[in-house]
């Protein structure tokens, strides 16, 4: 009897630790959560964060604070997320480029996105339009490809920057279509679109910066980078001419690697619920060019691995680096 009592007293500290740990997991969260955003206030990523944060605050019962960490093409925020404690109190709202492209452009990043971050949930997707200046005689993608093959010197295309998704997508098209084009990088979608409108370049992939000009007839759209979209009736997808060439930019939520399964499951469940809410979906769409994008954790992880490998091949083939 005395022996059993002594054993129980010795075990009490361990039992207390186990109970405290179980209680912490069961009641997560018990303090505010910060949501890292790799862009300054005002852009699409920041706007999305400010739609999601209040709803997560309501669902989780703790304040979700948006923490803007711009700099180094998003790498500052990515590093902060990768180095944060894996306790569920630091989350990272990232565009796909930070996860599947940047690691191939920067040779000495102090983190490994595939090991140091874990996907929580996909959030939204968007589209890129292949737009040309209407002075070109091509009326569709096939006519453009034939025209580009004969062009001498090669037609010039704009991108939002060297190594950007817009740049690499055009390089994929060049390879699949067997055409030669001259890359002219600009500092963002606005300057690139201005150059296209002024006929300084002949074409570009773009999103919100080109869409209004396509609708007004100042630019001509030839294809969508992803799937067909009711917003552009009759406009084909690239993959209809070049199977497998489908680029659908997305934004997703990540956490530091090592976050426990119960915390991940809670975050995923609440994120899925808010994306299913009609009001949230409308607010997401009102940001411009964004659509709610819901996948399973397995699907999202597989997509990340596949895109990471694809962009790695393209970056190597093009020979582009930033550092």
* pTM of structure: 0.88
- The per-residue pLDDT for 288 is 85
- The per-residue pLDDT for 166 is 97
CA torsion angle 208 213 214 218 (round to 10): -160
- The per-residue pLDDT for 289 is 86
The alpha carbon of residue 24 and the mean position of all alpha carbons in its chain are separated, in whole angstroms, by: 31
> DSSP state, 72?
G
Ranges of residues in the chain whose predicted pLDDT is under 70? 1-26, 323
pLDDT digits (tens, 9 = 90+) for 122-136: 999 999 999 999 999
Backbone phi and psi for residue 36, each to the nearest 5 degrees, phi listed first: -75, 135
Residues near 13 by beta carbon (within 8 Å), at least 6 away in sequence? none
- The per-residue pLDDT for 26 is 59
What are the residue boundaries of the structural domains of the chain, listed by start?
16-125+249-318, 129-241
* Sheet order of strands, 203-206 included: 181-185, 155-159, 203-206, 129-132, 220-224
* b/e 29-56 (16+ beta carbons within 10 angstroms → b): beeebbbbbbbeeebbbbbbbebbbebb
Please tell us whether the domain made up of 129-241 is placed in CATH 3.40.190.10.
yes
Distances (CA, A) of 270 to 85, 119, 282: 21, 14, 18
Dist. CA 4–CA 302, nearest whole Å: 52
- Burial class of 78 by CB neighbour count within 10 A (0 to 12, 13 to 18, 19+): buried
Dist. CA 222–CA 236, nearest whole Å: 7
Asked whether 94 and 177 are in contact (CB, 8 A), the reply is: no
Residue ranges of alpha helices (H) inside the chain are 2-27, 44-60, 75-83, 96-100, 102-105, 113-116, 141-150, 165-177, 189-197, 211-216, 238-241, 261-276, 278-286, 297-318
Same fold across 16-125+249-318 and 129-241 = yes
Architecture in CATH for domain 16-125+249-318: 3-Layer(aba) Sandwich (3.40)
Backbone phi and psi for residue 268, each to the nearest 5 degrees, phi listed first: -65, -40
Pairing of strands 250-256, 220-224: unpaired
pLDDT digits (tens, 9 = 90+) for 125-172: 999 999 999 999 999 999 999 999 999 999 999 999 999 999 999 999
- The per-residue pLDDT for 5 is 44
- The per-residue pLDDT for 306 is 97
Distances (CA, A) of 228 to 3, 48, 211, 246, 280: 74, 23, 15, 11, 23
Closest CA to 124 of 323, 292, 3: 292
């Amino acid at each position: 009897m005395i022996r059993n009592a002594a054993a129980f007293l010795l075990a009490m500290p361990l039992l207390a630790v186990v109970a405290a740990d179980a209680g912490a997991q069961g009641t997560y969260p018990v303090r505010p959560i910060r949501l890292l955003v790799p862009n300054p206030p005002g852009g699409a990523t920041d706007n999305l964060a400010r739609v999601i944060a209040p709803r997560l605050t309501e669902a989780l019962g703790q304040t979700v604070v948006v923490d803007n960490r711009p700099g180094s093409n998003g790498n500052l925020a990515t590093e902060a997320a990768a180095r944060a404690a894996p306790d569920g109190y630091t989350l990272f709202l990232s565009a796909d480029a930070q996860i599947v492209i940047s690691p191939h452009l920067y040779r000495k990043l102090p983190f490994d996105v595939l090991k140091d971050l874990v996907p929580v949930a996909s959030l939204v997707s968007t589209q890129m339009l292949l737009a040309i200046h209407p002075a070109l005689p091509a009326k569709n993608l096939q006519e453009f490809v034939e025209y580009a093959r004969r062009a001498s010197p090669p037609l010039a295309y704009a991108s939002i920057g060297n190594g950007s998704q817009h740049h690499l997508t055009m390089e994929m098209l060049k390879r699949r279509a067997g055409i030669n084009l001259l890359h002219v990088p600009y500092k963002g979608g606005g300057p690139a679109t201005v150059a296209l409108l002024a006929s300084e370049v002949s074409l570009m992939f773009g999103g919100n910066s080109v869409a209004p000009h396509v609708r007004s007839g100042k630019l001509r759209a030839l294809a969508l980078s992803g799937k067909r979209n009711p917003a552009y009736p009759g406009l084909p997808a690239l993959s209809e001419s070049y199977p497998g060439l489908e680029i659908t930019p997305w934004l997703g939520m990540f956490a530091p690697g090592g976050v426990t399964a119960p915390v991940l499951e809670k975050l995923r469940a609440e994120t899925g619920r808010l994306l299913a809410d009609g009001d949230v979906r409308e607010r997401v769409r009102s940001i411009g060019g964004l659509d709610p994008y819901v996948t399973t954790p397995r699907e999202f992880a597989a997509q990340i691995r596949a895109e990471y490998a694809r962009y790695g091949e393209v970056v190597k083939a093009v020979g582009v680096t930033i550092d």
